[in-house]
A and B are shown apart, each in its own frame.
Chain A
Amino acid sequence: MQPQPILQLKEKLADLKLGGFSWNNRAVWSVAALIIILIVNRLISPNFFSIDMVNGRLIGSLINILDGASAIILLSIGMTLVIATKGIDLSVGTVMAIASAVAVMLINQYEAGAGEFYYMPGVVILIAVAAGAICGLWNGFLVAYLNIQPIIATLILLISGRGIAQMITQGQSPTFTNETLAFIGRGVILGVPFPIYLCLAMLILVTLLVRRSAIGLLIESVGINARASFYAGINSARIKVMVYTLSGICAALAGLVVAGEVKSADPHKAGEFAELDAILAVVIGGTSLNGGRFNLFLSALGVLIIQSLLTGLYVSKLHPTANLVVKAIVVLAVLLLQSDEFRSFLKRLFRRRA
């Protein structure tokens, strides 16, 4: 029944290990889903895979997908770790808005000629990231020390965060011209957009951080069985504060990417609904909302699946009103493909036919 090559591929992949996570079925099916979506895109638009060099910059749909996915990939890194501890971070979208508001307001002071060192671009970026970290620290404090359910704890910042961002920008959507800050969103190195480097660097860095230390194991342990972890002497509060803080930092970076792209900070629209895409990507990447085993690269793959789909929809000339529905259907299909129950159901169905 099963096509043989896929079975063999599965066995081979099963032997591979990446970041302490064995390539289970989910991973294989996620990769398969991405490939299928890309092939469909290629069928719709014949030059989908073509990449050209224009003015020292690579141009093409594949590059667009990576570039467009970068903000959500950054979010998915923090979100994966949070979800692995059995938590959730709804505030990442608004933290993006806060961080970009902070950055843009400060950088405009710098452009206006204020001399203090904390208006210099490098420092501005650090302050914006620190603002994200503080937001994450706040979430972590509520969850870990006040024992507020993560969905409620982060909902507080989801609601209030846009207000905070508006207060920072004094109700405006300020634009800026500083090229250093804009580079984070629209810079190009060796033809490739800077956000792609940023994502890759963060993926590798955070993977090294959690897998070369004990943090990854402790995150999974707390996520799978918090009580037993407590009995084993694990300080789960510290772990939780750490993952929410990291999620805040990732959100701030994503905010800087978005601000850089459009050279402005929009406290209303920046990162709107981004948390939902990030959560969806993490789930497609195979991390259960019940906590436990995680893999950052698979979450990133989840983002790419969503983004390829969106790009495909844009080039398909389908009426834009249908986009969200088609997106929902394909996401459902991907999740079904990963479900063991559904696949064995299909198998039984086909066996009966044969």
Chain B
Amino acid sequence: MRNNEQAQIPLIETRGLTKTFAATPALSEVDFTLYSGEVHALLGENGAGKSTLIKLLTGVHKRDAGVILLEGKEIEPRSPRHCQELGISAVYQEINLIPTLSVAENIFLGRQPMRRGLVDMKTANRKAYELLKAFDIDIDVTRDLSAYSIAIQQIVAIVRGVDLSAKVLILDEPTSSLDRHEVETLFSVIRSLKERGIGILLITHFLDQVYEISDRITVLRNGIKVGEHLTSELPRIQLISEMLGKALTEELAVQKSGISSNGLDREPFLRVHGFARRGMMQPFDLEVRKGEIVGLAGLLGSGRTEIAHLIFGIKHSEQGEAYVNGQAANLSSPQKAVQYGFGLCPEDRKEDGIIADLSVRANIILALQAKLGWFEHLTPKKQEQLAEEMISALRIVTTDMEKPVKELSGGNQQKVILARWLVSNPEFLILDEPTRGIDVGAHAEIINIVKRLAQEGKAMLVISSELPEIVDYSDRVMVLRDKQVIAELEGDQISEAMIMQTIAER
């Protein structure tokens, strides 16, 4: 593709890029190049420096040392807006568009075509339609952005970025909330952008996608560049070991929790019969025993999260009954569920999980304190002790426990929420996408923690979009489709192929 790579002037080139936050180096002396017409994947664990590199390139932060060249000329990124003017656009996981405006308005926000001093929506609509059509996206651009799927919203954000005359497009985790079909749509957009000569810097945690779409890979670890490869020449195992800085085998070598075959005869910890809610979930039954991991598998929107919400009382069930240890239980609110020894790590960490401005310590003790009530106050000493224990047990990376939790990386925030429930000593944990949006290393750690908790005798209900993960740890798998439980797999039946086949069955 680029045989004469050396001769070509890179679109972006950094030399010795360095950034330090409060005496902690986030990025040290990183040389990075991006050529026109390539997809360059930037990979690394939590704290590798991926976000820092992006923020330096888009002018969010100012570098401490090093140079940034755009088409061979040195640039001085001052702000994201300045960088957009230079031709560097970024589209983030959380889409920065306005859901209540139309698609066309979003694309032309701040630079609407004018006619006689008024906004010319007709031209805007036509242009927006044409822009999207060029990527084979044929939609009604006059409808609100929120009417469309996340994938379409993401593509709208990309189209807006590219139309701002971008030369460089940075995509930060664009696929993490998309299903397989939507990923395909997005990838075809990326391919046509490549053909137009745009350089694409891609950050993602899905290795399959890296191999599917990227031309080159740069691996960062702890702020240092550890490797730069042509994707076609890099074996996966080498990539993973570069990212982790260690051999992967030991991490994955934890055996399955393995409930004994006669264990299934025991009275389950939780038994739910006929829970349902109109417009949300069809009636379902569910049993979870102590020491057992039940996986919920299904496509996005199949009803996995809905089951978790109904059981935890976030939405209360309109029918059916629940039994905890054989006793009828009222699960109409999280407060009640918590009193039965339940815990839920929600899918959306930011909105439903962390209390951003509070410290790591306060976040960890929060659920326990809520359970104890107003006046049974955990003393500061006790709080510190609990936080200390959890930080070391879950290997939460933070400089100290009084740091606001919002300053931690995604994987560590996830661990803090897990810690929040563990200190409340739950008997039953629901984990909704516990590994979403976190890197390979923390991914393996979280999976190990899940298995360990089951071995310690906790009942577990785990939701994940990643089939290998579900297959790896589940003792039983409930398969969902269209807000309905359609099958329950056990033992040898549990395999990726079987799950996919079950979902595909008619």
Which A residues contact B (CB, under 8 angstroms)?
A: 212-215, 217-218, 220-221, 224-225, 227-235, 292-293
Contact = CB atoms under 8 A, between A and B. Distances in A.
A232 B366 contact: yes
B468 interface: no
A217 B366 contact: yes
A220 B361 CA distance: 14
Contact of B370 (A224, A227, A233): A233
Given A214-B374, A233-B335, A228 B353 contact: yes
Nearest to B336: A233
Interface stretch (B40-48, B123-131, B220-228, B344-352): B344-352
A231 B355 CA distance: 11
B372 A214 contact: yes
A284 to B, nearest CB: 20
A232 B334 contact: yes
B369 interface: yes
17 contacts: A213-B375, A213-B377, A214-B372, A217-B362, A218-B369, A220-B355, A221-B355, A221-B358, A225-B351, A228-B346, A228-B352, A228-B355, A231-B353, A232-B334, A234-B366, A235-B370, A293-B357
B358 A233 contact: no
A13 B134 CA distance: 60
B213 interface: no
B374 A231 contact: no
A230 B337 CA distance: 12
B357 A233 contact: no
B377 A212 contact: yes
Given A213-B374, A214-B374, A217-B362, A232 B367 contact: yes
Given A213-B377, A231-B312, 15 more contacts: A213-B374, A214-B370, A215-B374, A217-B358, A218-B369, A224-B355, A224-B357, A225-B351, A228-B354, A231-B314, A231-B352, A232-B334, A233-B370, A233-B371, A293-B357
B63 interface: no
Among A220, A232, A234, max chain B CB count under 10 A is at A232
A231 B344 contact: yes
A214 B369 contact: yes
Nearest to A233: B338
B235 interface: no
Contacts of B420: 232
Contacts of A212: 377
B117 interface: no
A221 B354 contact: no
A22 to B, nearest CB: 8
Contacts of B377: 212-214
Contacts of A230: 314, 334
Contact of B346 (A215, A224, A231, A293): A231
B101 interface: no
A169 to B, nearest CB: 37
A32 B370 CA distance: 38
Contacts of B378: 214
A292 B357 contact: yes
Contacts of B312: 231
B137 interface: no
B373 interface: yes
B356 interface: yes
Given A231-B346, A231-B352, A224 B374 contact: no
A224 B358 contact: yes
A87 B354 CA distance: 20
A235 B334 CA distance: 9
Among A225, A227, A231, max chain B CB count under 10 A is at A231
Interface in B308-353: 312, 314, 334-335, 337-338, 344, 346, 351-353
A349 B353 CA distance: 41
Contacts of A213: 374-375, 377
Contacts of B351: 225, 227-228
A292 B356 CA distance: 10
B369 A217 contact: yes
Given A212-B377, A217-B366, A231 B334 contact: yes
